[in-house]
Amino acid sequence: METGIDSGLYYNYLIWGNVSSGSDIARLEIRSDAGSSVPLAYSHGWFLGQLELPPSSSASLRRSYVVVGYDSQGKAIERRDLAWALTDTP
């Protein structure tokens, strides 16, 4: 855990996984329903990234997040909701 700029407590989520070998995905990012995005490192079918969120007690600050995969032309071709991964931290 790290402290945010306003000295509040934030959770850091490590987001990682792989993409099937037949996929046309060229890059990935995490997008929020507020329009912000976080690029994911992507190489040889594997991706890795970090998402910093306020604790669940600040539910009004929580957003919906999806991983979006883009092809080499920049077209979004795949989306995966992160709601299952962003559950309350133990």
Number of domains in the chain: 1
Domain CATH number, residue 21:
2.60.40.10
What is the rounded distance in angstroms from the CA atom of residue 88 to the CA atom of residue 90?
Answer: 6
Domain membership of residue 50 as a residue range: 2-81
What does the buried/exposed string (b/e) look like for 38-77 if buried means 16 or more CB atoms within 10 Å of the residue's CB?
bebebeeeebebebebbeeeeeeeeeebbbbbbeeeeeee
In a domain, 89, yes or no: no
In a domain, 90, yes or no: no
- Per residue in 29-82, pLDDT tens? 999 888 889 999 999 999 999 887 766 555 445 678 899 999 999 999 999 998
In a domain, 87, yes or no: no
pTM: 0.76
What torsion do the CA atoms of 71, 73, 76, 77 make, to the nearest 10 degrees?
-40
- Per residue in 15-43, pLDDT tens? 999 999 889 999 999 998 888 899 999 99
